[in-house]
Amino acid sequence: MENEIGIIKSLIDSDLYKLTMQQAVCKLFPRVKVKYKFINRGKTQFPEGFAAELRKEIAKMASLTLKKEEKSFLNKRCGKFLDEVYIDFLNGYRYDPSEVGVTQKGGDLDIEFYGYWYRTILWEVPIMSLVSELYFKMTGQEIEDFHTRTKNIQNKGQLFHQNSMKLADFGSRRRYSFDNQLEVCKTLKAMFGSEKFFVGTSNVYIAFLLDITPIGTHAHEWFMFMGAKYGFKMANEKALEYWVDVYQGDLGIALSDTYTTNIFFKSFNKKYAKLFDGVRHDSGDPFKFIDKTVAHYISLGINPADKTIVFSNALDKDLSLEIAHYCRDKGNGIKCSFGIGTNLTNDVGVKPLNIVIKMVSAEIDGEWVETVKLSDDEGKHTGDSETVDLALKLLKIKNEEVISA
């Protein structure tokens, strides 16, 4: 088992934002411990023996190491923001399966992992990928043939190309399989050659295999931890401040919705609005978000045409086209880009899983503190209900203030 390779075949079969956040955590919070938990939003029932198979795959990940060629790729493609010390650290990193607990009761699956944040931060993406790929493998669901799948991707690519829309693959976590995600990116790269329209992928290993740009900045957990450590009112400001301290203006797309967009913009002052290249929309009504973002930049004396919105929330080609037209017609020149996940890497004729893994608590000064995420989508707040209610109260958020669709 020790040297057996499983579904996850590379240490960097993960999303770039996990590496960028890991580097920041190593620099700033090396002694912090955290806990993560699997959330089955779609109430999927998993087949008998699923947990045992998942544990086997997780155990196989202990043998993964950063290959010489992968290390060279990181230095070449990411050396601007991942420093040599961090890449050397990654060279010595090993997954420790003892950090992960997987149990199953009937069809209900429970996954938790715990440990130092700088170590456990890398588990989320491959575990979600494993859950998705194993589920479809064990349930034996029939998918579309290769020709149909390829044609489907080509049609999506053509739509983006014809409308001068930038497309990126954000589909690692809920992909049908690694092979399908790779095939999607291969097809899009072959269609466009350059990175003008297909701008890259969040998956670092696929970026390595295809020699394309890996894309990503930070995730909700970065802001969630700041809420636990510094309080909900200071969370966005501290998250932005520390990100700038580490990356000095690189990786400049700020995630906006961890404590709702309205609260985020209260902290996104002129300093940060100038320093960051733009913002990422990941929940709520995208059209209201465009209006709000443009108005915010204008109120600060910043030309929206100099900024970008990256959209990444449950996108398909039709919604992306609507958003692009709205940006052009009513966005005062603001640029837009689209990171599509499930609808790229799991559009094969089966129903994708609706699953997430979230940080649920962090150890602050020797005490465990609950973490929460307050979504712009109604009913999608995550965290302990009492802590969610406390955050809503402290931030003075009313239901009508979120920008839900």
Domain boundaries, the chain: 146-345
DSSP code per residue over 292-318? HHHHHHHHTT--GGG-EEEE-SS--HH
- C-alpha 163, offset from chain centre: 25
Rounded average pLDDT over 367-390: 88
Q: Residues 287-301, buried b or exposed e (16+ Cβ, 10 A)? A: bbbbebbbebbeeee
Alpha-carbon Rg for the chain in angstroms: 20
How many C-alpha atoms does 257 have within 13 Å on its Cβ side? 26
Cross-strand partners of 110: 103
For the ranges 85-89, 145-149, 193-197, the one whose mean pLDDT is highest = 85-89
72 Cβ contact list (under 8 Å, min separation 6): none
Whether residue 7 is predicted with pLDDT greater than 80 in this model: the reply is: yes
Whether residue 148 is predicted with pLDDT greater than 90 in this model: the reply is: yes
| pLDDT, tens only, 226-278 | 999 999 999 999 999 999 999 999 999 999 999 999 999 999 999 999 999 99
Task: Describe the strand order of the beta sheet including 166-169 as a list of residue ranges.
Answer: 198-201, 166-169, 335-340, 308-311, 278-281, 253-255
Give the CA dihedral 121, 126, 132, 134, nearest 10 degrees: -130
Rounded average pLDDT over 295-317: 95
How much is the pLDDT for 385?
87
The pair of structure tokens assigned to 96 is 């420790």
Alpha-helical segments (H) within 15-141: 16-28, 50-60, 68-78, 84-92, 117-120, 124-139
CATH for the 146-345 domain, from 3.20.140.10, 3.40.50.1100, 3.20.20.70, 3.90.550.10? 3.20.140.10
How much is the pLDDT for 401?
46
Rounded average pLDDT over 164-187: 94
Which of these, 287, 348, 269, 282, lies nearest to 315 by C-alpha position?
282
